[in-house]
Chain A
Amino acid sequence: MVRLMLILSALTIFGCSPGGNEAINNEKMSIHRFGIESIKIVHNGDFSGRISSDESIGTCKSFILSESDVLIFFATARSATLREYEHDLNASNCYASGTFVSKTGISGEWKIDRSRRGFLHNQSDEPEYFYCGECQNPLFYEPCDIDCINAE
């Protein structure tokens, strides 16, 4: 818990990501991205079965994120368009998901998959989609940003 509070404080004070200046330079300054007060993990190491992939339920069991992993992901990730998220980027059946509360009291849901895609959503707003090529967490597959689609 102390570790989590330290991460939250650092993200609040500096308004930046552990991945560098990418977040500061991002034109789309998401309210969620800089305003998450807390998160709760509901599903972890789960298998969706909705992606055409050779992953199994067993493959996904090792994809266990901590609360700080989730916060670091959303602080570091770049925004993605819906087309990128649902068509261009690699997708994975392995995911973690849960709920969040923003600093302004808005609650919503989040999801992160093993291919480094994630989204934040609350009922009164459009979902925001993310991709984290900079995340260092070894639980993720190797990053493949634009090269996911231009792979040669």
Chain B
Amino acid sequence: MLVSDKDGKVINKRIILKIIPANEEKSMVGVRGIIIHQTGGATVESAFNSYKTGGSGAHFLIDKDGTIYKTASVTKQAWHVGKLRSRCLAEMTCTATELRLLKKFDPTGTHRREMGKNVPNRYPSNQDSIGIEMVGQALPLSEPDPDKRTYETLTKEQGESLKWIIQGLRTSRKVPLTEIFRHPTVSYKNKTEARTASW
């Protein structure tokens, strides 16, 4: 069971608290989902450095040995999702009007329309989801085009830690299984990111 203090800092001896202020944005309205990522870097330090620059980041970071770092409060947004894909298109539940609008592929317009809906009618976004990143590169590095690389398989330890933390968050934050996604499902990304993650 994961318990949070009044600032949303998860308290559990299995989790190393390493809050990076630059990684915390404004308050989260509520947790409606969980998005699973891979960092693209080889080490946990490279992810910390990226978080410190104020670019993208996540709430939890899992090293290859399974160590779990808490890098942002779960009451704060972290920028980890990006523009949303159409959920109704993936689940074949779009209205005729939506289908007509989706005929012209327009990521910005799609995102704007999606954000006018609530989960579960859209995918969870930065506003209402927890991000979990696993340290892992897309390979081979000799391939200059990152789109042609394949993200490496999660280690056994990462897989176990991921399942443990998701179970804890599902219980403490009441996130249903149906609202847990890999990053490429919800946004426009390399299809192989987090493909070996399971929960």
Contacts and interface: CB of A to CB of B under 8 A. Distances in A.
Interface residues of B, number: 42
B108 A88 contact: no
Contacts of B190: 50-52, 86, 91
B13 to A, nearest CB: 30
Contacts of A144: 83, 107-108
Given A51-B190, A149-B55, A150-B126, A87 B39 contact: yes
Nearest to B104: A59
A142 B41 contact: no
Contacts of B126: 149-152
Contacts, number: 109
Nearest to B138: A86
Given A54-B85, A54-B102, A149 B188 contact: no
Interface of A: 48, 50-55, 59, 81-88, 90-92, 109, 111, 113, 115, 119, 121, 127, 141-142, 144, 146, 148-152
Interface of B: 25, 37, 39-41, 50, 55-56, 79-86, 89, 102, 105-108, 111, 115, 125-127, 138, 144-149, 184-185, 187-191, 193
